[in-house]
Amino acid sequence: MQICISSYYHFFLRTFKIVGELNLLMQINWVEVFLFAFCLVLLGLSFLHFLEAENLRAENAALSEELAQTNLELEEVRDSVTFERNRIDGLKLELEKKDVELAEARADIRALSAELNATKNRVEELEQDFEQFQQEYIELQSQYEEKAEEYEQLLSEIGEFEADLQEKMYWYTANSDFGGEAKGFLSRVRSRCIDGDTLNMPCVAVMLEQKGFSYVSEGNDYIKSLEEFEDEDGGDCEDWSIFVKAIINEMVEEEGVEELLVADAGEDGHFVVYTDDNIEYYYRILPLPNCLQEILLV
């Protein structure tokens, strides 16, 4: 390779000098031209071999992955065969036990036959009893298989119930608070409805009302997520319960709220909801609707 590069270099130097002297054809070294062409051919062949080697490496990598996958499948098949062998061994043991029991029963029959040869009718009765025992065994085996199927079905139902329960637990966890998101109504609650470690619940209701949230009657038992409640500007009693509970959890986690103030009117029956620019905004205490009572007591 160094010889080819050197020849290539000298060839071009000499070519440039010959062009400068305007006598190109008279001073070209055809040996160097041949070496340069030969080097180009070698470089081309080397490049082709390099591409072929890369293809072989890629094929080798693909075959290695396929071999690894095949080995994994083989291990799974081996585990399955081992499991089936263990089952067969268990069945063989049970069969041996049944053979022993059957042999003992036959030995008893033979002993009774030897001792009571004169009472063939009794022997026949015993044989009938034995046949009945076999029939009962078959029936019990069938019942056992039915119970096994019921057990498998019950396990499947339990698995579906657990999956459904986990999904619901995840939903309630995801909708238990707002995850520290910056929302306009939460900022108003923080600034106007918290006094120390106490959250003023009527103030929360006023802030939500001012932001356009309202009670929306629904004809089904579907419970909205926090995002759906915001997008639809309200919901029914269950939706309000989830939403207000999430606000309380958010204030507890983010603002250190420890107490909830529901109502504390003085003798005049006035309850201060919030203060803005030294102006106190209050409601007169009136009986609450059942839905709002449920929300405040959650």
Cα–Cα distance, 111 to 113 (Å, whole number): 5
Mean pLDDT of 280-285: 50
The model's confidence at residue 51, banded by pLDDT at 50, 70 and 90, is confident
Residues 237 and 128 in one domain: no
Q: Is residue 105 part of a domain?
A: yes
Residue 289 within any structural domain of the chain = yes
pLDDT computed for residue 8 by the predictor: 47
DSSP secondary structure string for all residues of 21-77: TT-TTTS--HHHHHHHHHHHHHHHHHHHHHHHHHHHHHHHHHHHHHHHHHHHHHHHH
Give pLDDT, residue 296. 44
Is 41 a residue whose pLDDT tops 50? yes
CA distance 151 to 157: 10
179 domain-assigned: no
> Is residue 206 a part of any domain in this protein?
yes
Encode pLDDT of 139-195 as tens digits. 888 888 888 888 888 888 888 888 888 887 888 888 888 887 778 888 888 888 888
Alpha-carbon span 239 to 219, nearest angstrom? 13
Q: How many domains does the chain have?
A: 3
Examine the fold and report which residue of 94, 115, 136 is the final residue of a domain before the chain moves on: 115
Give dist(CA 156, CA 146) in Å, integer.
15
Residue 297: which pLDDT band, with cuts at 50, 70 and 90? very low
Same-domain pairing of 94 and 127: no
Residue 155 lies in a domain: yes
**Residues 188 and 129 occupy one common structural domain:** no
Phi-psi region of 3 (alpha: psi -120 to 50; beta: other; left: phi over 0): alpha
- Give Rg (Cα) of the chain: 46
Verify that 209 and 256 share a domain, yes or no: yes
From 70, 95, 115, the end of a domain falls on 115
Indicate whether 152 belongs to any domain: yes
Q: Which domain holds residue 205?
A: 184-297
Domain boundary among 115, 141, 159: 115
My answer on whether 263 and 188 are in the same domain is: yes
What's this model's pTM, rounded to 2 decimal places? 0.43
Same domain membership, residue 111 and residue 4: yes
Report pLDDT for 295. 44
